[in-house]
Amino acid sequence: MDKETIAELIEVKHTELLSWLEQQPNESWTQGPEGKWTQGQQALHLLQSIKPLNTALSMPKFLLRYKFGKANRPVRDYETVTKRYQERLRDVKGKTYKGSQNMKVPSMNEKQYILNRLQTESKKLQYKTKKISDKNLDTVILPHPLMGKMPVREIIMWTAHHVEHHMESLKERY
């Protein structure tokens, strides 16, 4: 998947999510199905997952190579990455990344801030995706808490799928 297509996918998935969340009743932001995340927690989780990626992509690429190494395999396509993610999710049976465990329920006062930040971070990721070289997209790797080390191109594609995954979950539960 080329950079432009990936950036467009990030835009489409985030726009759909944000639009859907803004149309939901306010009580769904703070109250969800028993034992499941509220809409606010889902949005906060997505924000927590995109911010470190943008931070990493702002760093000099030689530092990322020094810290995490270089890719030792070809980049997988979008379908392969998403399929692998679904397999890994089944393997861990609902365990959550440590940063999102015991997540607080964001208040209604935080809703607009979280949605605005999510939109801003999405725009940043789109910009960074278009600006990074294809060589760095394919050779620089970053750690993913569930998937292990992944080339940047894959982790950005995964980010689009991650939003879609949570969107599907939200639509199912609400």
Would residue 125 count as lying in a domain?
yes
Q: What domain range is 133 assigned to?
A: 3-21+37-173
User: Do the Cβ atoms of 75 and 155 come closer than 8 Å?
Assistant: no
CA dihedral angle for residue 117, residue 147, residue 17, residue 37, rounded to 10 degrees: -90
Residues in the chain: 174
User: Do the Cβ atoms of 59 and 152 come closer than 8 Å?
Assistant: no
**What mean pLDDT, rounded, does the chain reach?**
94
Would residue 26 count as lying in a domain?
no
Tens digits of residue pLDDT in 5-29? 999 999 999 999 999 999 999 999 9
Would residue 135 count as lying in a domain?
yes
User: Do the Cβ atoms of 44 and 114 come closer than 8 Å?
Assistant: yes
- 39-58 vs 3-22: helix axis angle to the nearest 10? 150
Tens digits of residue pLDDT in 24-81? 999 999 998 888 899 999 999 999 999 999 999 999 999 999 999 999 999 999 999 9
Would residue 31 count as lying in a domain?
no
Would residue 151 count as lying in a domain?
yes
Would residue 102 count as lying in a domain?
yes
User: Do the Cβ atoms of 151 and 139 come closer than 8 Å?
Assistant: yes
d(CA 36, CA 124): 29
pLDDT bin (cut points 50, 70, 90) of residue 94 is low
pTM for the whole structure: 0.93
The one-letter amino acid code at 60 reads: P
Rounded mean pLDDT, 78-93: 91
CATH number at residue 9: 1.20.120
Would residue 29 count as lying in a domain?
no
Query: And the tokens for 95?
Result: 């365990």
pLDDT bin (cut points 50, 70, 90) of residue 91 is confident
Give me the number of domains the chain comprises: 1
Closest CA to 84 of 2, 157, 155, 147: 147
Rounded mean pLDDT, 144-172: 96
DSSP string for 134-167: HHHHHHBEEEETTTEEEEHHHHHHHHHHHHHHHH
Would residue 30 count as lying in a domain?
no
